[in-house]
Amino acid sequence: MHWIDPTSLPETRGKVTRFLLNPHGEIDGLVIGARQVHFPPHLSTQLARHVAPGDAVRVRGVKPRDADMIAAVSLTTARGVLILDEGPHHNGEKHHKPHVERKAMDASGEVVLSLFGPRGELRGALLDDGTSLRMPPHAAAELAAYLSPGAHVHAWGHGVKNRHGRTIEVDEIAELIDAPQAA
């Protein structure tokens, strides 16, 4: 059982615009409007079963000091289904990361959202085509300018694509110098 009572936390409501994937292809978050909502990956199956882009949801969680995101403890669907973070070892079950074949991938585009870990640490960016770029916090901190909304980047690495989205673990990233400029 999660030690935080979700009913004591602020509630955020909105429509899911997309899922976010971790490097194993599991759902570890979603976007409501222009805000990231982080979920632990052990809830991936429940989220995929009960939530779809376009669905209205209510989320309760905590907001780290330095990031405009929510580390979710619970989510309630429009149909009243409650997805509650009871921890990865609830009922003695252990969360096993799926084995996925990561392939060489690249992506380019405009950053529309910086992506954060559950404690508010910068971990990547979401591009305008829906691709998540992921990297360790120490690398992301050094490359913060490339991961800020409005930046135009090209990234290379290894990733996974499934019906829920696409994510790339970034090995290299560069600014697109011939990107369209805002007028």
Domain boundary among 58, 89, 120: 89
Domain, as residue range, for 72: 8-89
13 part of a folded domain: yes
Residues 84 and 12 in one domain: yes
- Which residues have C-beta within 8 Å of that of residue 2, sequence separation ≥ 6? 73, 84, 85, 86, 87
Reading the block at residue 100, the tokens are: 């996925």
Bridge-based pairing of strands 27-32 and 35-38 is: antiparallel
pLDDT for position 130: 94
Cα–Cα distance measured from residue 24 to residue 164, given in angstroms and rounded to the nearest whole number? 12
The count of other CB atoms within 10 Å of the CB of residue 175 is 11
In a structure prediction context, what are the per-residue pLDDT tens digits for the chain, which is 183 residues long? Answer: 467 788 899 999 999 999 999 988 999 999 998 999 999 999 999 999 999 999 999 999 999 998 999 999 999 999 999 999 987 655 555 545 666 788 999 999 999 999 999 999 999 999 999 999 999 999 999 999 999 999 999 999 999 999 999 999 999 999 988 766 654
Q: How much is the pTM? A: 0.87
Residues 110 and 80 in one domain: no
181 part of a folded domain: no
Residues 84 and 130 in one domain: no
